């Protein structure tokens, strides 16, 4: 199931090319056949992961270097305006853009564009505008063109989607280009799919009509436990390298990346409201956890290290699908126990990475990638190594191939509440320690580790 970023296998009762749902009458005989072939590719990596579990995990720096993708956030789906403190915290992330989704057949999309434009202007960044078109696309785009002249948003790129199909065909892109080209002639026009890589792969995009290709990622289409979510991280990289095979030289945009699916793309009817007292299906309590922060670090690592991805859009600005909680707190604190006005731990991952916006990523290899991930950033003369422990146990990690001194800072169970409630103080107070490299360090359960390096062998 690599097409959905799962590290698992499944079979369909009928092939995906056939319509669904399928009626299976009582007494129907169904036969399936599975053929498994085994070779020795990957055997060495597996053997390394099965060595003495008491030995430290090693993190080694590789040679491959890639540009760090631009990173943005989605506009909050709750629709409330950002507060001054929230603007300040978002600026600290050095974001490249905000994504806003406009369903042009629905009322209120003009107001949504206005609010998104105000927020992007306050953050001094452009919008990634995802347009969702219907059969009345020509009329919808005509009205949008008028709104654009009044609202005047700065546009990073357009993403064109349609309710007709899960991937966008060339005529829809050409129609959008006709209506949008005059307003922002330099803004790339992209398409692909608003759902999963499997749709992009099975219904290839019209690359000749596009400036960029886009698809979304979430790790919970088929499995939901922590271990399964960690296994999806390497598969994210596989989607990017696969997309490159049929997208030519077009920039790849992965947007958005969320912990939960935003909607059910295979639903045959309206999505029901959640039962009273239950979270919406788009919300995962791990959004506010150290594990969620580690997963975010792993996602950036694997996608960036491919060297194939130009831009990433994560989560939302605020609320329980965002990087920080609203001042009024969680609508369901018993299910989503956030702290009103606090940031989530993943905010600090994005801040640590954001300080290297425009820089590069050097590939790192963990000897136990399902337990610990490593991301190495570089910009000018600065180098930063970020580590994440995906497990509920402390992990000893040996930093190999590095020399000199390093300044380290941790984010774990001992200081996470302070880091969430007062992120400004956490990021400015002198809480770091200095170590000499090479070194073996300890990551607490689900802990994160930041290591600013003086030098390492190039």
Task: Give the DSSP letter string of 311-356.
Answer: EEEEEESSSTTBSB--TT--SSTTTS-PPTTPBPHHHHHHHHHHTT
Spatial separation of the C-alpha atoms in residues 321 and 429, rounded to whole Å? 28
> Does 431 or 28 have the greater pLDDT score?
28
CATH number at residue 81: 3.20.20.80
* 203 and 341 inside one domain: yes
In a domain, 10, yes or no: no
In a domain, 340, yes or no: yes
As a whole number of Å, the CA-based R_g of the chain is: 23
Summarize pLDDT for 351-389 with one digit per residue, the tens.
999 999 999 999 999 999 999 999 999 999 999 999 999
Spatial separation of the C-alpha atoms in residues 75 and 130, rounded to whole Å? 11
Spatial separation of the C-alpha atoms in residues 126 and 187, rounded to whole Å? 10
* 350 and 230 inside one domain: yes
| CB contact at 8 A, 249 and 188 | no
**Number of domains the chain contains:** 2
Query: Which domain does 83 fall in, by range?
Result: 67-262+281-354
* 315 and 381 inside one domain: no
* 60 and 76 inside one domain: no
pLDDT at 23: 87
- 312, 335, 354 — which closes off a domain? 354
In a domain, 159, yes or no: yes
pLDDT at 414: 96
Which pair of structure tokens corresponds to residue 419? 């880091």
* 335 and 371 inside one domain: no
What average pLDDT score do residues 390-403 get? Answer: 93
pLDDT at 44: 54
- 338, 354, 370 — which closes off a domain? 354
* 311 and 444 inside one domain: no
- 329, 354, 379 — which closes off a domain? 354
Can you tell me whether residue 12 is helix, strand or coil?
Answer: coil
In a domain, 14, yes or no: no
Residue 12 has pLDDT above 90, yes or no: no
> Does 9 or 121 have the greater pLDDT score?
121
| CB contact at 8 A, 190 and 213 | yes
Residue 120 has pLDDT above 80, yes or no: yes
Residue 47 has pLDDT above 60, yes or no: no
Nearest to 339 by CA among 416, 429, 444, 275: 416
Kindly state the greatest CA–CA separation across the chain.
71
What percentage of the chain carries pLDDT values higher than 90? Answer: 81
* 247 and 374 inside one domain: no
* 294 and 412 inside one domain: no
In sequence order, which ranges of 73-169 are alpha helices (DSSP H)?
A: 84-91, 109-123, 137-151
In a domain, 27, yes or no: no
Spatial separation of the C-alpha atoms in residues 219 and 235, rounded to whole Å? 10
* 425 and 326 inside one domain: no
Residue 147 has pLDDT above 80, yes or no: yes
Q: Which range has the worst mean pLDDT, 94-98, 229-233, 265-269?
A: 265-269
Q: How confident is the model at residue 430 (pLDDT cuts 50, 70, 90)?
A: low
* 258 and 379 inside one domain: no
Nearest to 169 by CA among 145, 217, 133: 133
* 308 and 385 inside one domain: no
């Amino acid at each position: 199931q690599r097409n959905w970023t799962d590290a698992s296998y499944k079979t369909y009762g009928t092939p995906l090319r056939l319509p669904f749902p399928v009626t299976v009458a009582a007494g129907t005989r169904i036969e399936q056949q599975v053929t498994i072939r085994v070779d020795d590719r990957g055997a060495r990596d597996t053997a390394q992961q099965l060595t003495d579990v008491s030995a430290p995990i090693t993190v080694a720096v590789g040679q491959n270097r890639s540009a760090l993708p631009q990173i943005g956030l989605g506009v909050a789906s709750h629709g409330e305006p950002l507060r001054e403190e929230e603007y300040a915290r978002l600026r600290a992330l050095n974001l490249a853009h905000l994504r806003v989704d406009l369903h042009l057949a629905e009322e209120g999309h003009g107001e949504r564009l206005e609010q998104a434009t105000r927020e992007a202007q306050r953050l001094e960044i452009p919008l990634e505008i995802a347009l969702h078109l219907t059969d009345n696309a020509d009329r919808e785009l005509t009205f949008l063109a008028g709104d654009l002249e009044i609202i005047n948003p700065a546009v990073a790129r357009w993403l064109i989607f349609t309710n007709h199909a899960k991937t966008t065909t060339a005529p829809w892109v050409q129609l959008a280009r006709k209506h949008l080209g005059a307003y922002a002639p330099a803004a790339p026009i992209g398409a692909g799919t608003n759902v999963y890589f499997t749709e992009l792969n099975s219904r290839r995009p019209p690359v000749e009509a596009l400036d960029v290709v886009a698809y979304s990622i979430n790790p919970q289409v088929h499995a939901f436990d922590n271990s399964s979510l960690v296994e999806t991280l390497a598969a994210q990289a596989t989607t990017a390298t696969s997309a490159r095979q049929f997208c030519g030289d077009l920039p790849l945009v992965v947007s958005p990346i969320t912990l939960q699916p935003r909607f059910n793309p295979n639903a045959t009817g309206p999505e029901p409201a959640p039962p009273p007292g239950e979270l919406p299906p788009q919300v995962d309590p791990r959004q506010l956890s150290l594990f969620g922060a580690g997963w975010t670090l792993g996602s950036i690592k694997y996608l960036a290290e491919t060297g194939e991805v130009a831009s990433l859009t994560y989560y939302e600005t605020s609320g329980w699908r965002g990087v920080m909680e609203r001042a009024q707190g969680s609508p369901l604190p018993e299910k989503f126990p956030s702290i009103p006005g606090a940031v989530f731990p993943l905010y600090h991952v994005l801040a640590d990475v954001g300080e290297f916006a425009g820089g590069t990523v050097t590939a790192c290899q963990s000897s136990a990638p399902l337990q610990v991930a490593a991301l190495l950033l570089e910009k000018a003369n600065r180098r930063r190594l970020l580590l994440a422990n995906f497990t509920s146990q402390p992990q000893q990690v040996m930093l190999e191939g590095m020399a000199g001194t390093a300044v380290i800072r941790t984010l774990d169970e001992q200081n996470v509440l302070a880091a969430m409630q007062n992120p400004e103080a956490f990021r400015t107070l002198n809480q770091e320690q200095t170590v000499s490299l090479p070194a073996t360090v300890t990551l607490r359960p689900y802990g994160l580790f930041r290591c600013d390096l003086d030098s390492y062998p190039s």
